[in-house]
Amino acid sequence: MSEKIIHKIFPTPIFQFEINDYENINIELLKYIYESYENDKEGVERSNVIGWHSKSFKFEKGNVPHNFIKSIHTYVKEVIANGYGWKYVQEKIGVTEMWAIINKKNSFNKLHNHTNCYLSVVYYVKAPNNCGSIQFYDPNEVKKYRHPEIETRTELSAFGYSIKPKEGNLIIFPSYLYHDVGKNLSDKDRIIISFNVDIKN
């Protein structure tokens, strides 16, 4: 066989990091999230089914959401500047919305994406075994609904990709990417912080 070249011209990246000192960060986040839940058990309804979705957090200098963003800022910068190669100007990078989700047993999140921003982020504060993986779907709509029978699944034939949650892991992905979260089959809470990142022109 002659030389073969495969040009993978439109990759869809999902960046995964384990952040430094996540154990101490999670102690502070858990306290803040459960206090938010106790103060507003109704929350809001978005992609959550049965689970609790907080209202958007307020950013005030020194509060827990503000401190969390400061602690993971370098990872977001890594994705923007080195991952995508976009021009990085700190004053133009902003968090448009941040929230928490508590998925108790049998809770899950239905298929959705995040509009009007460039990047979306999920961070695992509490992730027991069998609490529900995040599943991403190929943005190519035609490929998803019509394809030949797959005998051997490869990265070229796959139309879904699953990531098992792990405490202290930060996942950053393009906001247009559709995703959902499997049912929490454990008896413990699955807790995440999520936010969107936009870049001003």
Q: Which domains does the chain have, with CATH numbers?
A: 15-199 (2.60.120.620)
111 vs 91: CA distance, rounded Å: 32
Cα-based distances in Å from 23 to 20, 29, 57, 131, 193:
9, 10, 21, 19, 15
Q: pLDDT at position 103, please?
A: 98
Quick one: pLDDT at residue 85? 97
Secondary structure (3-state) at 52: strand
Q: Output the pLDDT for position 141.
A: 81
Which of 97, 121, 113, 87 is CA-nearest to residue 200?
Answer: 87
Residues of the chain with pLDDT under 70: none
The pTM score is 0.96
- How much is the pLDDT for 116? 92
Question: At 124, phi and psi to the nearest 5?
Answer: -95, 115
Query: Residue 13: what pLDDT?
Result: 96
